[in-house]
Every structure is written in C-alpha cells, then in structure tokens.
Chains A and B, each alone.
Chain A
C-alpha cells in the first residue's frame, strides 16, 4: 500500500489544503484576536461570545455555506472554484479562523494584563501594543495554531461537500477513509488513518520542540 503513488498524492493534497488553510487563518486570526483582546469598543463582549461559539462550527455546515457561495448559482459562482482544492482551502480557513482568533484573543488578553502599564508608559497605544504583545508571546501561540491544524486535518464534512471527493483532484485522507470504509476496504482505510495520525503527531512534536527551545532562549 505504501508504494502506491496515489496514496502519497492523497497525503500531499491533504497536507497542502490543511496547512494552507491554517497559514491563512493564522495570518488573519492572530491580529484579529489581538485587536479584540486589546481594543475597547461597544459590542466587544458579544463579539467574544460569538467568536468562542464559532469554535464549535460544524464542518458540514461550513461546507454547505461555502458550497452555496461557490455553486454555479451562488454569488461567487463565476469564479468556478467549486470542487477544486482552492474551495477546500476556503472552507477549512472559515472553519479554523475562529479557533485561532479566539485562542489568540484569550492569550493576548492574559498577557496584556502584564504588559499594559509598561507599554502605555513607553507611549505604545492601540494596534502597536496588540502587535507587540502578539509577537512577544508568539511561541505560546503555537498551541492555537496546532489546535487549528488539528481541526483542519481531522475534518471530513467541509472538504467532502465543497471538494466532492473527486479521485486524483480533491480526494484527501479523511474523505478517502470515509469512502474506503463504506466500500469495505478496511485495510486501506486503517492504513490511511495511521498515516494521518503519524503526520499530526510529527507536526505536534516539531512544534513542541520549537517552543521549548524558544522558551529556554528567550525566557
């Protein structure tokens, strides 16, 4: 099974889609979370509650929502993105963004209590303060990124709906496992499951080592 080139194509597409989604969600979610943590504006508390609730978005609902947006009759139908890897990246980004933003918001808010007085004393305000704190706790925020990555690599519903599980085009590890299980090819499904878990474990181990090294170096 392991020398099957199709298998590695599936693994590569899975990683490509999930890592892209997590990268985009990190770039958007971190500053968003930091801004909500540091900012004071009307409706802030409601926004935090909504953001936290969105962490529990069901993947199939996100998939359906993106499907409606991208389908031929939908508002973004002209882009022709439905059933492409790009559509899967969009769906997973929507799924992961609230997780990264909500966890970053909490981390930055906790850190802000320690930094606020000192930074204001130095004349740091607003967005600059948020970004300074974000950068200063960047290694702790790896955990938020990993939570997002866990969500993206584990979900089936969203990629299934917007990708369509097309062999050789949008078939990823989780959709293959679902398909092979229903077809009765349990060894292949199980094998893919093990590969998926090994990859997630390896990514987490790497992130942990980076974080430990950084903590020793920077305190």
Chain B
C-alpha cells in the first residue's frame, strides 16, 4: 500500500500556493478547475514528475514508482508495435521476460486492442493510442492511476471507450485521480471533486453535492459557466 498520499504546504513557483491535502484509497477523485488553475501541475507533482518549490509530497510506502502510473492528454508512443510498447513499460518496471508476454497480452485484451497488437503504435488512431496508453498502465496493475484530461482530444465514441476502461480500473481496485474539462464525464466517473482555483483547493466535496450545492462562489461560477456546453 502506497496510499494515502500527503501534500503538505506544497507550492510550485506561483502556480500552486501552499496546498495541503490527502489522497486516500477508495473514491475516484476528479480535479476540476479553469485553464491555468494548476490541475496539470498538481497531478505532475503527485506523480513525481515535478518537485515542489516548497512543502512535501509523501507516500505511505517507500517506493511508489512502480505502484502508480499516469496517462497524459497526448500519449507518446515509441516507434514499435502496440504490444512492444506495453512490453517496454513492463521491462522498465523490472518484470521478468516470461511474465511480460502474458501481462502485455492481458492488458491489450482489456482495452480491446488485441487485434492490432502487432501494428505500429504510431499509426494507430488517437483513440486507439490513448487505449494503448491505458493498456501500458493496466499491465503494471498500479495502485493509483493519474489521468490528465485523457479524452480532451477524442471524439465521443473514443471517449466512451476510454471511460469504460477507467471504470474497469476502478472496479479492479485502482485509485483514480483524474482532471477533466468534461463535467458529464466527471459525474460519470467521479466520487468526489477537488476544485482548484488560482493554485488553491477552494472546495472538496462528494460529486453530487458539488454539482447540486457548490459551497464556494468560485465553484458556483465555474459550474454555471461550464454546464451549458457539457
């Protein structure tokens, strides 16, 4: 167990300001906020890609590296087959060669890419590449999965497929931490909302209450402004 994840007085340049919060196992956490609120930076700090300017980010366990994964808005695929991309991630994670094949095939099966496993990853469609990014994460069976606007560049059909896979992660016991601009998606996938405004968490609430009765004026304005375009 690497959760809970604790952030204490975390600042990052002038983007995040003295943020303290705890991410525990269980409910899927959706990070909402306007562009520039600091969502992506917060996720990168939690994932370990960025180091905080002040404060500390700490996990329960000693080596969270292998137990947490991240899926980006635009996944980067290596110029090799879809299968080889998953196998590469497993190799880096130190999985023995014998197990890699089984785990990679299992993961590709899970995201529905088994039939294109031996096609070059870079020639797959945007939706397929994002599913492949999820397969790469799935193969590692992470305890926590960070997703940074994973469907921002995708059409509704591809978005539904991605959402189905994210639900499967949740069902398999992986903690989901996701940022999105799609409030419908937030409601479909989330259990609680972290609302960021200008580098601060101004509200944290169960999803239904957040949308029905936002406590902060910033969140109220955000929901009012965003909802007509859901």
A interface residue numbers (CB < 8 A to B): 114-115, 117-124, 128, 132, 136-137, 217-219
User: Is there a chain A Cβ closer than 8 Å to B222's Cβ?
Assistant: no
Q: Contact between A217 and B72 (Cβ–Cβ < 8 Å)? A: no
In the complex, what residues of A have CB within 8 A of residue B70's CB?
121
Interface string of B128-143 (1 = CB under 8 A from A): 0000000010000000
Q: Which residue of chain B has its CB nearest to the CB of A138?
A: B79
Q: Contact between B75 and A118 (Cβ–Cβ < 8 Å)? A: yes
- Cα separation A115 to B136 with both chains bound (whole Å): 15
Q: Contact between A217 and B75 (Cβ–Cβ < 8 Å)? A: no
Q: Contact between B92 and A128 (Cβ–Cβ < 8 Å)? A: yes
B216 → chain A, closest Cβ, in Å? 31
Q: Contact between B92 and A124 (Cβ–Cβ < 8 Å)? A: yes
User: Is there a chain A Cβ closer than 8 Å to B152's Cβ?
Assistant: no
A123-B65, A128-B92 are contacts. A219–B76 as well, Cβ < 8 Å? no
Q: How many A-B residue pairs have CB under 8 A?
A: 44
A123-B93, A218-B122, A219-B120 are contacts. A117–B80 as well, Cβ < 8 Å? no
A110 → chain B, closest Cβ, in Å? 14
B79 → chain A, closest Cβ, in Å? 4
A218-B80, A219-B79, A219-B123 are contacts. A123–B92 as well, Cβ < 8 Å? yes
Total residues of chain B contacting the partner, CB 8 A: 22
User: Is there a chain A Cβ closer than 8 Å to B78's Cβ?
Assistant: yes
User: Is there a chain A Cβ closer than 8 Å to B200's Cβ?
Assistant: no
A217-B120, A218-B120, A219-B122 are contacts. A123–B75 as well, Cβ < 8 Å? no
- Cα separation A115 to B77 with both chains bound (whole Å): 9
Partner of A121 from B47, B80, B120 at Cβ < 8 Å: B47
- Cα separation A120 to B76 with both chains bound (whole Å): 12
Interface string of B69-111 (1 = CB under 8 A from A): 1101001101110000000110011000000000000000000
In the complex, what residues of A have CB within 8 A of residue B136's CB?
122
In the complex, what residues of B have CB within 8 A of residue A123's CB?
65-66, 92-93
In the complex, what residues of B have CB within 8 A of residue A132's CB?
78, 88
User: Is there a chain A Cβ closer than 8 Å to B49's Cβ?
Assistant: yes
In the complex, what residues of B have CB within 8 A of residue A118's CB?
72, 75-76
Q: Contact between A122 and B92 (Cβ–Cβ < 8 Å)? A: yes
A136-B78, A136-B79, A218-B79 are contacts. A121–B92 as well, Cβ < 8 Å? no
- The list of the 3 closest CB pairs from A to B, nearest first, reads A219-B122, A118-B76, A219-B123
